[in-house]
Chain A
């Protein structure tokens, strides 16, 4: 990262919902063509962070730069242009249930890029094949799919326009281990072959180790550790150790009470 600005740079981002502070001065940078994985407990604000970057939520303060340009103050029209660079896999898939599966995948091509439907369909079917879904699935409606299939369709939709930056919010949750690995490889391929910048969220450490160049851990609205994938096992950070080993005892206290 010398000279050119990082692809995405967050600094001092605060986001609250009412009295509840979710992001508390969060700093994070993602370099060009880098794959960064963010790990962290449930409800720590990982999805909120992605939505702030995309402008779906507005942070109270802080700066979010994409390609060296401030986005928080952008107007709607400018943001639309910026969003063309992005692809997003939503945690809950968020497929359009009024459209067929292939139309979902082709949506960004048809509406965003004004590609003819026939051509877009071809690309959509190829992307579906890449996530292990045959052309017959393309004609179904999203409500006719299983949860894991929906997730894969959403993934195909996120990468269909071959965006510069792709956000994956828990890409492998709800998939069987083999399919999860196929998806991991697909993500790696997007980064390596297309040169995309990937920012992923996962709880699945096997997946994190496979797709990450760097790993960052979020806790109480801040990034408490960020380092190379190889270093995660000897981070020297008690929080990270507890998280990656999945232990109930440690500095991170879950808000639960024994029955």
Chain B
């Protein structure tokens, strides 16, 4: 009996958390579409997410592209398919690794920062102060971050795609001795519009999740510095998990038969 009660309790807690998140999400999204629009705040968040994440995302993409070329070359050499290196690199980067790695890096960088900032505002009563100054904290704090996350991650991924493919190109040409022109035309040959589009759709969804988790956990944090720390950890972990799960689902939507 004790055991069943424990399961029941855990299930109720889960339901409550899901309900709370759903409510938070719908309220936050509805505020994205209603005036006033805080253009200044959206701009600042966009710079934070887009511009300042460029180095870390670029570096990740560069080395991922490079290692992809190296791995697929040595792997495919076993059945004389080295010619597929260019295609493998470009497809893996645009469809999969660009968005996922950028999403995870941004989750660590931005999701954590959002949770910490909003969490600190919560525990120091700044969110209460916003309310008393007749400003809706959902609209002022959450909506701009959601919009910025949704818009900026696809742009970041475009850059990541280019840098990643370029990384593969560098290794292929300078280390593996491919002909540059040949490699490039191979890259283009099998690349379809949908490959890139699916990656950008993923990026938009991931960006939304990163912002949502950062805001949600920050907004509901309690209990001083320790609570803010927990919120930060939860934001990064839950955003990463959501990214990985939704990645599978979106891939299924785009490419299943």
Residues of A within 8 A of B (CB): 51, 54-56, 76, 80, 83-84, 86-88, 90, 92, 94-98, 107-108, 111-112, 157
> A51 to chain B: which residues have CB within 8 Å?
128
Judging by beta carbons under 8 Å apart, are B131 and A94 in contact?
Answer: no
Judging by beta carbons under 8 Å apart, are A111 and B133 in contact?
Answer: yes
Judging by beta carbons under 8 Å apart, are B134 and A96 in contact?
Answer: no
Which residue on A lies nearest to B128, using beta carbons?
A56
> A56 to chain B: which residues have CB within 8 Å?
128, 131-132
When chains A and B are docked, how far (Å) is the Cα of A90 from the Cα of B126? 9
Judging by beta carbons under 8 Å apart, are B131 and A54 in contact?
Answer: yes
> B132 to chain A: which residues have CB within 8 Å?
54, 56, 83, 86-88
Tell me, yes or no, whether B136 is within 8 Å of chain A by CB. yes
Which residue on A lies nearest to B126, using beta carbons?
A94
Judging by beta carbons under 8 Å apart, are A112 and B134 in contact?
Answer: yes
The smallest C-beta distance from B71 to any residue of chain A, in angstroms, reads 44
The smallest C-beta distance from A92 to any residue of chain B, in angstroms, reads 6
Tell me, yes or no, whether B178 is within 8 Å of chain A by CB. no
Counting contact residues on chain B (CB < 8 A from A), the size range is 10 to 19
Tell me, yes or no, whether B179 is within 8 Å of chain A by CB. no
The smallest C-beta distance from A47 to any residue of chain B, in angstroms, reads 10
Known: A84-B134, A111-B134, A112-B135. A94 touches B129 (CB 8 A): yes
The smallest C-beta distance from B56 to any residue of chain A, in angstroms, reads 22
Tell me, yes or no, whether B124 is within 8 Å of chain A by CB. yes
> B133 to chain A: which residues have CB within 8 Å?
83, 107-108, 111-112, 157
Tell me, yes or no, whether B140 is within 8 Å of chain A by CB. yes
The smallest C-beta distance from A155 to any residue of chain B, in angstroms, reads 13
> A98 to chain B: which residues have CB within 8 Å?
117
For A111, give its contact among B120, B121, B125, B140 (CB under 8 Å).
B140
When chains A and B are docked, how far (Å) is the Cα of A123 from the Cα of B109? 38
Which residue on B lies nearest to A107, using beta carbons?
B133
When chains A and B are docked, how far (Å) is the Cα of A87 from the Cα of B134? 10
For A107, give its contact among B121, B124, B125, B135 (CB under 8 Å).
B135
Q: 8 A–B contact pairs at CB < 8 A?
A: A54-B128, A90-B125, A92-B124, A108-B133, A111-B135, A111-B140, A112-B133, A112-B135
> B126 to chain A: which residues have CB within 8 Å?
94-97
CB-contacts of B119-153 with A (<8 A)? 120-121, 124-126, 128-136, 140
When chains A and B are docked, how far (Å) is the Cα of A92 from the Cα of B132? 15
When chains A and B are docked, how far (Å) is the Cα of A85 from the Cα of B128? 16
* 0/1 interface trace, chain B 181-204, chain A, CB 8 Å (1 if under): 000000000000000000000000
Judging by beta carbons under 8 Å apart, are B125 and A92 in contact?
Answer: yes
Which residue on A lies nearest to B136, using beta carbons?
A80
Judging by beta carbons under 8 Å apart, are A90 and B128 in contact?
Answer: yes
> B135 to chain A: which residues have CB within 8 Å?
107, 111-112
> A80 to chain B: which residues have CB within 8 Å?
134, 136
Query: Could you list 12 further interchain pairs (A-B, Cβ under 8 angstroms) beyond the known A56-B128, A94-B126?
Result: A51-B128, A54-B132, A56-B131, A76-B136, A80-B136, A83-B134, A86-B132, A94-B124, A94-B125, A95-B126, A112-B133, A112-B134
Most A C-beta atoms less than 10 A away, residue of B129, B130, B136: B129
When chains A and B are docked, how far (Å) is the Cα of A55 from the Cα of B129? 12
When chains A and B are docked, how far (Å) is the Cα of A184 from the Cα of B133? 23
When chains A and B are docked, how far (Å) is the Cα of A90 from the Cα of B121? 13
> B140 to chain A: which residues have CB within 8 Å?
111
For A83, give its contact among B117, B120, B121, B131 (CB under 8 Å).
B131
When chains A and B are docked, how far (Å) is the Cα of A51 from the Cα of B132? 10
The smallest C-beta distance from A94 to any residue of chain B, in angstroms, reads 4
When chains A and B are docked, how far (Å) is the Cα of A98 from the Cα of B127? 13
When chains A and B are docked, how far (Å) is the Cα of A16 from the Cα of B51? 46
CB-contacts of B97-112 with A (<8 A)? none
> B136 to chain A: which residues have CB within 8 Å?
76, 80
When chains A and B are docked, how far (Å) is the Cα of A76 from the Cα of B132? 12
The smallest C-beta distance from B129 to any residue of chain A, in angstroms, reads 4
When chains A and B are docked, how far (Å) is the Cα of A76 from the Cα of B30? 14
When chains A and B are docked, how far (Å) is the Cα of A41 from the Cα of B117? 33
Most A C-beta atoms less than 10 A away, residue of B124, B126, B132, B140: B132
When chains A and B are docked, how far (Å) is the Cα of A97 from the Cα of B116? 13
> B130 to chain A: which residues have CB within 8 Å?
96
When chains A and B are docked, how far (Å) is the Cα of A97 from the Cα of B129? 12
> B120 to chain A: which residues have CB within 8 Å?
97
